[in-house]
Structure 1
Amino acid sequence: MRREILENPRVQEFLARHADELSYDNIERNLPKLHEFISQSTECCGCDNTEHCTNYLKGFLPTLRVVRNTVEIDYVRCEQKIREEERRDVANMIASMHMPKDVLQATIHDLSIDDESRVMIAQKAAQFVKATKESGHLPSKGFYLYGKFGVGKSFVLGALANELASIKIRSVVVFVPEFLREMKNAIGDNTLNEKIDYIKKAPVLMLDDLGAETMTAWTRDEILGTIFHYRMAEQLPTFITSNFNYGELEHHLAQSQKGDIEVVKAGRIMERIKALTEPIEMRGNNRRM
């Protein structure tokens, strides 16, 4: 084993560089460290998952150094480990409530730019990210993305959330119909206020499919109204997708499950939405068919 260690080209190179620091006795005492070093790969093997790594510490490469005439081994992350940690960091910057996995994995490059409206949307998203990078602060206004069912509005939210995550900006992405149902259940387990606070205080809030179901006066005024009022007052960016334009959404919000028409209260919600967002129509064919 001793001969195998000392004839190893990597060990010979290391010992030559540190010949003035390591005596014969030093080298003999450190043979176990040198053996640990040559028993592992010192270059990333390029596997697609560090779970397949054969090194002692998965995803880490051994390097040698001399400290007070003693050989020490340091372990540094390989390229794959760095990529995995970067992906994990990005994923941790996006909190999701009831959103599909494929939406949360969307990127700007995945968006089909085959329509003038889509070009504008991609430009608006890029401008938002650029403004955040350059100023160090989030712009206070998001956009209200509306269009027919299946044109890809949700994927825009996912792509934008990932772009923001790449610059360490945290987003909360919410599928509104399920979220409102969850809020009703939260009354029973006393978590309602906690959940509303979590949503309303998000650095970036993305609400998907607003208006997809008839709301009660309570969900409209006490849940959405509270969230929008707080975000408007604090100037926190909010992004919304809907099948309705502003006017259609206001009409929808005025209809309660009891059949009442509450124009004033719907108008109050819409004032907040308009203060928080810029309307953009997304055109195109249904891509879910």
Structure 2
Amino acid sequence: MEPIRDSLKKYMGETGWEKRLNKARESLFQDERIRSWLDHHRDELADGAIEQGMAELYEYKNSTVGCHACTSLNACQNPMPGYQPELYVHLGQIHMRYQPCPSKIASEQEQKHKKLIQSMYVSEEFKKASFEQVELDDEDNTRGTAVIQAITFANEIEPKKEGKGLYLHGMFGVGKTYIAASIQNTLANRKISSLLVYAPEFFREMRQSVADGTVSEKLDAVKAVPVLILDDLGAETMSAWIRDDVLGVILQYRMTEKLPTVFTSNWDLDELEGHLAFSQKNGEERLKAKRLMERIRPMTTAVYVSGRNRRHE
């Protein structure tokens, strides 16, 4: 009787399996990600580990479908949407596991923020905001310069490495919030999580949170987000508690951790300092206002946004 190994080899040769298998192996080891991973971990692998780990290598190759060109979680083409494979070495052998991708992590963070922070901007207008739709004025170079600074920030900022944000200021209705929303959407395309909140409503929400005991939880969520966007700072009625124990705590943490913050305001920085110096109960407190401004001035680039009031058009 012919040995089973010889029969199998003969069958594979006659049916072309061996040729297809060799072609698949060749394609596998031509994959740049596979080659790079093997080169990096070769010293950690035991003898024969690559042959024994072929199934993991194949699954890794076939389970990463277009992650490099991913536009959103909804467009994920992976077999497990929202998860991407990761190769690792354990006891000298090749193993693979699935980890949440940046888009899924950002989506889960956004859902968590929505449940926790009611003052988030979630309108369809701001979800679709884009720098391509920002109106420019041929006769006003100041506005164009402001947009360029915002685009540069959105495309180049690296939280934890560079903590300097933007302070967008200008008159009512010139589009500061729309520019801020465009920053947020550009960051989302870069897989960088951000949070856009309406400052006056957020501060009211924080006061109400004292009763339900969620102050610390909300503070932690806001202060630790990679990029925080506080819209319309200065429009709120300021209190010493909001200034010192909410805004001050948030900005101190973000400055220490190099997490950039984007502000929009009708006030310039000097006018904002005057606003922060006055609280309802304590009157004027210039020193405390200056202390807070030391967490805003050095950590932002002031950008004047000019233009006509578009709200009445």
TM class by smaller structure: 0.5 to 0.7
Q: Residue type matched to 1:213 in 2?
A: E
* Contact 1:210-1:241 at 8 Å conserved across structures: yes
* Contact 1:112-1:118 at 8 Å conserved across structures: no
Equivalences for residues 86-165 of structure 1 within 5 A: 86=75, 89=103, 92=107, 97-99=119-121, 101=123, 102-114=125-137, 115-132=140-157, 139-165=162-188
% identical equivalent positions: 42
Q: Give 1:107 deviation, angstroms.
A: 1.0
Q: Find the residue that maps to 2:228 and give its secondary structure.
A: strand
Q: Give 1:116 deviation, angstroms.
A: 1.6
Structure 2's unaligned 5+ residue stretches are 1-14, 17-64, 66-70, 77-81, 83-102
Distance 2:263 2:232 in 1: 7
Q: CA RMSD of the aligned region, Å? A: 3.0
> 279-288 or 115-124, which moves further after superposition?
115-124
* Contact 2:230-2:264 at 8 Å conserved across structures: yes
| Alpha-carbon spacing, 1:186–1:83, altered in 2? closer, same or farther (3 Å) | closer
Deviations 1:67-105 (A, max 9, x none): xxxxxxxxxx9xxxx878149959837656332511232
What TM-score comes out, normalization by structure 2 length? 0.62
Count of matched residue pairs? 216
Q: Give 1:229 deviation, angstroms.
A: 0.7
| Alpha-carbon spacing, 1:157–1:109, altered in 2? closer, same or farther (3 Å) | same
Distance 2:299 2:239 in 1: 22
Which of 236, 247, 267 matches 1:213?
236
Distance 1:121 1:248 in 2: 20
Equivalent residue, structure 2, for 1:252: 275
> 90-99 or 242-251, which moves further after superposition?
90-99
Distance 2:221 2:159 in 1: 23
* Contact 2:168-2:265 at 8 Å conserved across structures: yes
Equivalences for residues 29-48 of structure 1 within 5 A: none
Distance 1:152 1:209 in 2: 11
* Contact 2:169-2:264 at 8 Å conserved across structures: yes
Q: Give 1:117 deviation, angstroms.
A: 2.4
* Contact 1:142-1:277 at 8 Å conserved across structures: yes
Distance 1:83 1:117 in 2: 34
Distance 2:276 2:159 in 1: 36
* Contact 2:169-2:302 at 8 Å conserved across structures: yes
Distance 2:184 2:199 in 1: 16
Which of 175, 183, 202 matches 2:206?
183
More helix by share: 2
* Contact 2:130-2:182 at 8 Å conserved across structures: yes
Q: Residue type matched to 1:120 in 2?
A: T
Q: Find the residue that maps to 1:227 and give its secondary structure.
A: helix
Q: Residue type matched to 1:98 in 2?
A: M
What TM-score comes out, normalization by structure 1 length? 0.67
Equivalences for residues 162-173 of structure 1 within 5 A: 162-173=185-196
* Contact 1:204-1:236 at 8 Å conserved across structures: yes
> 82-91 or 92-101, which moves further after superposition?
82-91
* Contact 1:214-1:252 at 8 Å conserved across structures: no
Q: Residue type matched to 1:273 in 2?
A: I
Q: Give 1:140 deviation, angstroms.
A: 1.5
Counterpart check, 1:85 vs 2:71 = no
Which of structure 1's runs of 4+ aligned residues deviate more than 6 A? none
Counterpart check, 1:225 vs 2:264 = no
| Alpha-carbon spacing, 1:202–1:212, altered in 2? closer, same or farther (3 Å) | same
Equivalent residue, structure 1, for 2:215: 192
